[in-house]
């Protein structure tokens, strides 16, 4: 009656052993480490490890070990002080070849990693790191969209040979001015035909006639949504390029982004990269009009006055050849001829085709590279911090086009190799669709994270031991069996979280503690049902069978209602609440397996098929 077939016993054994194997990595310590990525190209050179080891040895910095994985070099150190000294060596001697990021690396044996066994990710509250909340300037996103429509309308009217006076825009709409009503009517027909996504209206002021074009509410919402999604993608690319492990980058509300970087120990460097919005524009130099006239306020139509870093003026064409949006790859290095810092650029197909067409038509003419940066500056005004958004546009290079070129070329004129490396990283990650501002920052030290881990583990152990003692005292041998499968349940929970690389936080540990109670609750229901059957005069074998069969519906009801609550928490919660819901859900599913299948497998092996007078329950 109470016997499992061989395949079911083997299934329980295999699942238990697999759970133990994949849970093991989560119990190993972590080493302070530095992760290196190349500043040039996409892969590390073969001699990278030897070069770094030699530099550290010359500086007297002890190195625990090196690992090459995924195009990145990981340096392990015994202590945090050695890690910081190692970073100083890397930045001082090898900064032109490697980007570095401080992190913590699990000390997992190679044979475990060879079978794909990795430790659980630890959240910010357990591992330490930085948490920033970023606000996206949605008004600027709409304004940028209107600027693009301004250029489109200007080009469209020129191609259609429609006479106009000026084309400009503000934050919400494009304004086109005409000197007569006939030109306005002609332009209105053209714009309505070619740009159907705009809401067109007209007006007049004295002798001036106007067309106003603005986005529909649906299009404005789509622009804002795209800006938020693009910024999330760009920030994720930037963090990944820095080599920070296990980042959490997600939307919060309608215009904010939360970035959590567990294990990150260099907040200033990360804030610098996250907040920067640098990009490049390539424009032709206007050689037909006077720069001096532009300085005095008489800027020629179709051109714009810029200045370089020394304040010298340059007159450039309004037409942009390519922008940072069309850059697919960028790496820092040095110009072979001049030895100056340079950024090597690769464009997408459209950008490369446009660059080749322009350079082919303008051989011998000068072309300028404009460096654009948006940043937020905070100043104290009457004792209160006041934030001001600053947009700087400066010419970093002007050179003659010696021959046509397309998708690959280089840009010089940068002040240092550090600036070249940062610019290459930002360009490689992609341009932000709208300016951002860090509105909240929290830094959690690794010491506090370790304290949280110790307290969380202590709470799980205390809860587990209390349940073990109660079950062993109250249910005798059957209680010990329940304790054994409860331990298996915890191992399976850790293993599943590790396999799916879920992030464990303090609320997740709370979910583990609750899982301990929920898991043993199923065995309590089963054992009490067995006791009841024995009191009713049933044989021990029939009581075991009835206990598992009749308690099943109650166990499923209790777990399903808890599972519904966990799903609701995950659907409507954020951050820590979701972590609690994930841990609770996984724990419920694993407890159903251990409490019903695994415990009965053990009881069947011990008591199945035997003639019994009593049961130790």
One domain for residues 192 and 212: yes
The neighbouring-strand residues paired with 479 are none
Any domain includes 583? yes
Q: Sign of the CA dihedral 607, 609, 614, 617?
A: positive
Provide the token pair at 529: 């049902």
CA quadruple 295, 301, 302, 303: dihedral, nearest 10: 0
Return the pLDDT at 530. 86
Any domain includes 356? yes
One domain for residues 96 and 199: no
Provide the token pair at 531: 């006791």
One domain for residues 180 and 214: yes
Residue 88: CATH number of its domain: 3.30.70.260
Residue 405: CATH number of its domain: 3.30.1360
Residue 536 has phi, psi (to 5 degrees) of -80, 0
Any domain includes 348? yes
Range 389-416 average pLDDT: 76
Q: Return the SS3 of 263.
A: coil
In this predicted model, what pLDDT tens digit does every residue of 307-319 receive, in sequence order?
887 788 989 988 8
Any domain includes 339? yes
Range 257-281 average pLDDT: 69
One domain for residues 54 and 89: yes
CA quadruple 15, 20, 22, 26: dihedral, nearest 10: 150
Neighbour order of strands in the sheet with 436-444: 248-252, 256-262, 129-136, 436-444
Return the pLDDT at 426. 61
Any domain includes 273? no
In this predicted model, what pLDDT tens digit does every residue of 65-92 receive, in sequence order?
888 776 678 888 888 788 888 888 877 7
The neighbouring-strand residues paired with 436 are 136
Return the pLDDT at 378. 59
Residue 506: CATH number of its domain: 1.20.1640.10
In this predicted model, what pLDDT tens digit does every residue of 351-366 receive, in sequence order?
888 888 888 888 888 8
Which of 51-55, 137-141, 209-213 has the largest mean confidence? 209-213
**Residue 415 — pLDDT band, cuts 50, 70, 90?**
low
The more confident residue out of 217 and 91 is: 217
Return the pLDDT at 398. 81
CA angle 603, 607, 611 (to 5 degrees): 155
Q: Specify the length of the chain in residues.
A: 617
One domain for residues 366 and 466: no
Using the 3D structure, point to which of 219, 246, 264 is the last residue of a domain. 219
One domain for residues 52 and 21: no
User: Chain centroid to CA 424: how far?
Assistant: 19
User: Are the C-beta atoms of 37 and 72 separated by less than 8 Å?
Assistant: yes
Residue 40 has pLDDT above 60, yes or no: no
Any domain includes 495? yes
Return the pLDDT at 376. 61
The more confident residue out of 380 and 507 is: 507
Q: Among candidates 434, 508, 502, 387, which has minimal Cα distance to 257? A: 434
Return the pLDDT at 430. 59
Whole-angstrom Cα distance, residue 250 to residue 574? 10
Look-up of token digits 């051989």: 363
Range 554-581 average pLDDT: 82
Using the 3D structure, point to which of 364, 385, 410 is the last residue of a domain. 410
Give every CB contact of residue 571 below 8 A, 6+ residues apart in sequence.
Answer: none
Task: Report the share of the chain in percent with pLDDT over 70.
Answer: 85
Any domain includes 76? yes
Q: Among candidates 565, 610, 564, 559, which has minimal Cα distance to 589? A: 559
On average, the pLDDT of the chain sits at: 80
Q: Among candidates 427, 400, 616, which has minimal Cα distance to 527? A: 616
Provide the token pair at 427: 């360009």
Host H or E run for residue 217: helix 217-242
One domain for residues 471 and 402: no
In this predicted model, what pLDDT tens digit does every residue of 94-151 receive, in sequence order?
655 666 777 777 788 888 888 888 887 777 777 777 788 888 888 888 887 888 788 7
Give the E-state strand segments of 474-597 in sequence order. 503-504
Return the pLDDT at 234. 76
Which of 224-238, 388-402, 468-482 has the largest mean confidence? 468-482
| Burial state string for 126-162 with b = 16 or more CB within 10 A and e = fewer than 16 | bbbbbbbbbbbbbebbbbebbeebbebbbebbeeeeb
User: Chain centroid to CA 431: how far?
Assistant: 15
User: Are the C-beta atoms of 222 and 180 separated by less than 8 Å?
Assistant: no
Return the number of other C-beta atoms located less than 10 Å from residue 319's C-beta: 13
Range 149-160 average pLDDT: 82
Range 389-395 average pLDDT: 77
User: Are the C-beta atoms of 243 and 402 separated by less than 8 Å?
Assistant: no
Return the pLDDT at 71. 67
Range 243-266 average pLDDT: 74
**Residue 419 — pLDDT band, cuts 50, 70, 90?**
low
Among the listed ranges 208-217, 389-398, 466-475, which one has the minimum average pLDDT value?
389-398
Residue 564 has phi, psi (to 5 degrees) of -60, -45
**Residue 377 — pLDDT band, cuts 50, 70, 90?**
low
One domain for residues 382 and 502: no
One domain for residues 486 and 597: yes
Residue 597 DSSP symbol: I
**Residue 608 — pLDDT band, cuts 50, 70, 90?**
confident
Q: Which domain holds residue 285?
A: 278-410
One domain for residues 18 and 33: no
Say how many domains are in the chain.
4
Range 598-617 average pLDDT: 80
Distance between terminal CA atoms of the chain? 19
One domain for residues 389 and 300: yes
Whole-angstrom Cα distance, residue 489 to residue 491? 5
Return the pLDDT at 273. 65
User: Are the C-beta atoms of 317 and 302 separated by less than 8 Å?
Assistant: yes
**Residue 449 — pLDDT band, cuts 50, 70, 90?**
low
Using the 3D structure, point to which of 410, 429, 462 is the last residue of a domain. 410
Q: Among candidates 487, 474, 464, which has minimal Cα distance to 598? A: 487
Any domain includes 130? no
Return the pLDDT at 309. 72
One domain for residues 456 and 574: yes
């Amino acid at each position: 009656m109470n016997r499992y077939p061989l395949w079911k016993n083997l299934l329980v054994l295999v699942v238990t052993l697999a759970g133990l194997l994949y849970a093991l990595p989560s119990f190993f310590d972590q080493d302070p480490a530095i992760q290196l990525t190349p500043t040039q190209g996409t892969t590390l050179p073969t001699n990278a490890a030897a070069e770094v080891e030699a530099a550290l040895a010359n500086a007297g910095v002890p190195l625990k070990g090196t690992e090459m994985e995924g195009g990145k070099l990981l340096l392990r150190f015994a202590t945090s002080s050695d890690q910081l000294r190692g970073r100083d060596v890397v930045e001082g001697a090898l900064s032109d070849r490697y980007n570095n990021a401080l992190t913590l690396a699990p000390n997992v044996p190679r044979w475990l990693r060879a079978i794909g066994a990795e430790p659980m990710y630890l959240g910010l509250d357990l591992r330490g790191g930085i948490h920033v909340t970023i606000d996206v300037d949605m008004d600027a996103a709409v304004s940028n969209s209107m600027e693009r429509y301004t250029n489109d309308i200007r080009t469209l009217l020129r191609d259609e040979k429609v006479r106009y006076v000026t084309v400009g825009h503000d934050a919400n709409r494009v304004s086109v001015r005409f000197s007569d009503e006939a030109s306005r009517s002609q332009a209105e027909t053209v714009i309505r035909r070619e740009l159907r996504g705009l809401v067109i209206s007209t007006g007049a002021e004295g002798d001036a006639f106007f067309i106003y074009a603005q986005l529909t509410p649906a299009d404005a919402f789509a622009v804002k949504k795209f800006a938020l999604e693009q910024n999330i993608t760009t920030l994720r690319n930037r963090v990944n390029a820095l080599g920070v492990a296990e980042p959490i980058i997600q939307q919060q509300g309608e215009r904010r982004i939360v970035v959590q970087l567990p294990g990150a120990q260099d907040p200033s460097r990360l804030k610098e990269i996250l907040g920067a919005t640098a990009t490049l524009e390539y424009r032709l130099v206007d050689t037909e009009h006077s720069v001096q006239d532009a300085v005095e306020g008489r800027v020629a139509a179709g051109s714009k006055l810029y200045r370089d870093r020394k304040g010298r003026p340059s007159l450039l064409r309004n037409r942009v050849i390519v922008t940072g949006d069309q850059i697919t790859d960028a790496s820092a290095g040095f110009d072979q001829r001049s030895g100056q810092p340079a950024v090597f650029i690769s464009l997408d197909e459209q950008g490369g085709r446009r660059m080749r067409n322009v350079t082919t038509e303008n051989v011998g003419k000068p072309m300028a590279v404009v460096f654009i940066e948006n940043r937020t500056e905070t100043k104290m005004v009457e004792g209160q911090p006041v934030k001001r958004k600053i947009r700087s546009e400066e010419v970093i290079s002007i050179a003659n086009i010696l021959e046509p070129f397309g998708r690959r070329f280089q840009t010089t004129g940068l002040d240092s190799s550090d600036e070249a490396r940062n610019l290459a990283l930002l360009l490689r990650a992609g341009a932000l669709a709208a300016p951002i501002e860090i509105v909240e920052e929290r830094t959690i030290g690794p010491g506090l994270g370790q304290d949280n881990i110790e307290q969380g583990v202590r709470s799980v152990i205390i809860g587990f031991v209390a349940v073990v003692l109660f079950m062993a005292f109250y249910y005798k041998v059957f209680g010990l069996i329940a304790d054994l499968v409860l331990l298996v349940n915890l191992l399976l929970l850790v293993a599943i979280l590790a396999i799916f690389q879920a992030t464990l936080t303090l609320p997740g540990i709370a979910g583990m503690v609750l899982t301990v109670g929920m898991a043993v609750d199923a065995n309590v229901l089963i054992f009490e049902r067995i006791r009841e059957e024995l009191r009713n005069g049933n044989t021990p074998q029939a009581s075991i069978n009835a206990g598992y069969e009749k308690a099943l519906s109650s166990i499923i009801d209790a777990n399903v209602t808890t599972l519904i609550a966990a799903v609701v928490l995950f659907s409507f919660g954020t951050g820590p609440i979701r972590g609690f819901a994930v841990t609770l859900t996984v724990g419920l599913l694993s407890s159903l397996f251990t409490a019903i299948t695994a415990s009965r497998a053990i009881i069947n092996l011990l008591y199945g098929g035997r003639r019994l007078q009593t049961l130790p329950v």
